[in-house]
């Protein structure tokens, strides 16, 4: 019942071994033998990073590249490749001394089925978990970490409201005085890198919350390893399973070694333990399909697993992270509850959710306070950096922005259209 393995265009992955932490080199690259210089990648690159004349093989300007992979999934000639950890992860899965933890992102569960012939959009949450376990992974839900992210980021938004809107002053709130509105989300590593390269003055506005993957990694290596799985944390090898090639870059950033630091400080591991990262490897959705194929597993044939462990539980607010507006909606749900002391009339905040062909979805949300007053929050959800972000940012930098909270996802419509997803015949630049 398997489909034949995908050709190079669909897989888009090439084993390239290890990479230098914090560097983009090799995460996305143009195969000079395949590139015909059609320029489609330049049309889809949000960072103006593609170089080359029409008809001549293109190159990537690594000082501008944000590793989002939009060039890869839109290249009609399969000439753009992504660093692959498939071989390394296969080796770890086959090593009984290693505890391999898979961290599946929300957009993966709606796309992996496509790689095995199901119609686009087929949802396979429990089948995916079953297939991952059969392949040898323990599952730590990225959605569980997305719930953590919202506690962090929603807490920041509430802190900023208390400091900047309600005028409260206390030691507890001092830090929020350094981070003015508008507040920008931080879950998308391509967006964060784009801001670092192009708009450094904006950084104090961007949430300090780690992305869900970078919350899941250290949580798996500390809390779950010690309390749930009861294994040696040093043996845990964490694999982000992402719709996204920029996550490969994010995992390699040198600042993400929180589990190593924590475990040494608590004397759980010896002082001389070599440094290890919070996330050891990233597989894209295409890569996970390749792991399943090599293991002879078709997720569509797996059972809907009934048992749900604590590392696999999460809320609906986490699942919607996979779509544009999801982080915004989840943060607003949280903020509403905290500032009003009650649940919102509906958990669905359609005004901020989903794709808009205009690129920026605007909304005005009223939050009731506990004293009966109300505050108004103006939001913008940026559906893809390309063509849409720069005006929003320039307004912020010139003090003209009408918004209080801005969600930015690099990919059109959000992670569901990420550069690590199955290649769509029509591309993503709709």
Structure tokens at 74: 């839109």
Q: Which of 111, 209, 244, 352 binds ligand SF4 (CB under 6 A)?
A: 244
Which residues, numbered 61-80, are part of the site for ligand SF4 (CB under 6 A)? 68
CB count within 10 Å of CB 311 equals: 21
From the candidates 187, 188, 244, 411, give the one annotated as an active-site residue: 187
Among 149, 252, 410, 428, binds ligand SF4 (CB under 6 A): 410
Catalytic status, residue 250? yes
Question: How far apart are alpha carbons 236 and 252 in whole angstroms?
Answer: 17
Residue 401 vs 428, nearer CB to ligand SF4: 428
- Note if 153 is an active site residue: yes
Would you put residue 55 in left (φ > 0), alpha (ψ -120 to 50) or beta? Answer: left
Which residues are 270's β-sheet partners? none
Binding flag, residue 111, ligand SF4 (CB under 6 A): no
Q: Catalytic: 88? A: no
String of DSSP letters for 191-255: HHHHHHHH-GGGGGGB--PPPHHHHHHHHIIIIIIIIIS---GGGEEEEEEES-SHHHHHHH-TT
Instruction: Report yes or no: 410 and 188 within 8 Å, Cβ to Cβ.
Output: yes
Q: Which of residues 178-207 bind ligand SF4 (CB under 6 A)?
A: 188-190
Q: Binding-site residue total for ligand SF4 (CB under 6 A)?
A: 13
Tell whether omega for the bond before 182 is within 30 degrees of 0, i.e. cis.
yes
Catalytic entry in 114, 115, 141, 153? 153
Stretch that binds ligand SF4, among 50-58, 92-100, 163-171, 243-251 (CB under 6 A): 243-251
Of 156, 290, 305, 407, the catalytic one is 156
Element (H, E) at 138: strand 138-139
What is the Cβ-side half-sphere exposure of residue 293, based on CA atoms within 13 angstroms? Answer: 19
Q: Which of 423, 385, 144 is nearest to 284 (CA)?
A: 423
Please say if 247 is a catalytic residue: yes
Instruction: State the catalytic residue, choosing from 168, 175, 255, 304.
Output: 255
Active site residue 84: no
Q: Which is nearer to ligand SF4, 84 or 410 (CB)?
A: 410
Beta carbon nearer to ligand SF4, 319 or 410: 410
E strands in 277-335: 281-284
Q: Which of 250, 305, 329, 407 is catalytic?
A: 250
Q: What is the rounded distance in angstroms from the CA atom of residue 125 to the CA atom of residue 105? A: 10
- Residue 249 or 403: the one with the smaller Cβ distance to ligand SF4 is 249
Cα distance between residue 152 and residue 146, in whole Å: 10
Least separation in angstroms between residue 37's CB and ligand SF4 is 25
- CA–CA distance, 396 with 405 (Å, rounded to integer): 11
Smallest gap from Cβ 9 to ligand SF4, in A, equals: 19
Binding status of residue 414 toward ligand SF4 by CB under 6 A: yes
Stretch that binds ligand SF4, among 143-151, 168-176, 242-250, 422-430 (CB under 6 A): 242-250
- Let me know if 207 is a catalytic residue: yes
Binding residue (CB under 6 A) for ligand SF4 from 139, 320, 409, 423: 409
Which of 415, 422, 423, 428 is in the footprint of ligand SF4 by CB under 6 A? Answer: 415
Tokens 């915004």 locate to 328
Residues near ligand SF4 (CB under 6 A): 68, 188-190, 243-244, 246, 409-411, 414-415, 418
Q: Give the catalytic positions in this structure.
A: 153, 156, 187, 207, 247, 250, 255, 415
């Amino acid at each position: 019942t398997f489909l034949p393995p995908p050709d190079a265009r669909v897989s888009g992955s090439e084993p390239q071994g290890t990479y230098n932490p914090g560097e983009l080199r090799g995460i996305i690259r143009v195969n000079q033998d395949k590139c015909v210089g059609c320029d489609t990648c330049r049309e889809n690159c949000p960072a103006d990073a593609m170089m080359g004349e029409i008809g001549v093989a293109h190159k990537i300007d690594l000082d501008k590249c944000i590793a989002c992979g939009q060039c890869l999934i839109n290249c009609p000639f399969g000439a753009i490749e992504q660093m692959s950890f498939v071989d390394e992860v296969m080796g770890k899965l086959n090593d009984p001394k290693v505890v391999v933890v898979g961290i599946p992102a929300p957009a993966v569960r709606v796309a992996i089925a496509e790689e095995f012939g199901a119609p686009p959009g087929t949802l396979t949450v429990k089948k995916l978990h079953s297939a991952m376990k059969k392949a040898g992974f323990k599952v730590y839900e990225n959605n569980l970490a997305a719930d953590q992210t919202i506690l962090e980021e929603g807490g920041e938004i509430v802190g900023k409201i208390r400091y900047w809107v309600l005028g409260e002053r206390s030691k507890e709130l001092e830090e929020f005085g350094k981070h003015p509105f508008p507040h920008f989300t931080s879950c998308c590593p391509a967006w964060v890198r784009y801001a670092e390269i192009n708009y450094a003055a904006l950084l104090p506005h961007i949430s300090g919350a780690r992305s869900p993957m970078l919350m899941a990694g250290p949580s798996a290596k500390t809390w779950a390893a010690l309390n749930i799985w009861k294994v040696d944390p040093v043996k845990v090898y964490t694999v982000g399973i992402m719709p996204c090639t920029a996550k490969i870059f994010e995992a390699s950033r040198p600042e993400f070694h929180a589990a190593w630091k924590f475990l040494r400080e608590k004397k759980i591991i010896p002082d001389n333990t070599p440094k290890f990262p919070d996330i050891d490897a990233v597989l894209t959705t295409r890569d996970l399909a390749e792991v399943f194929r090599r293991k002879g597993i078709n997720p569509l044939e797996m059972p809907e697993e009934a048992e749900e462990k604590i590392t696999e539980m999460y809320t609906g607010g986490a699942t919607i992270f996979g779509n544009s507006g999801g982080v915004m909606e989840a943060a607003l749900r949280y903020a509403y509850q905290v500032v009003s002391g009650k649940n919102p009339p509906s958990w669905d905040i359609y005004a901020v959710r989903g794709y808009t062909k205009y690129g920026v979805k605007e909304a005005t949300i009223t939050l009731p306070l506990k004293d009966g007053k109300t505050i108004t929050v103006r939001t913008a959800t940026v559906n893809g950096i390309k063509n849409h972000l720069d005006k929003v940012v320039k307004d912020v930098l010139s003090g003209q922005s009408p918004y209080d909270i801005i969600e930015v996802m690099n990919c059109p419509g959000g992670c569901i259209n990420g550069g690590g997803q199955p290649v769509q015949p029509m591309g993503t630049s709709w």
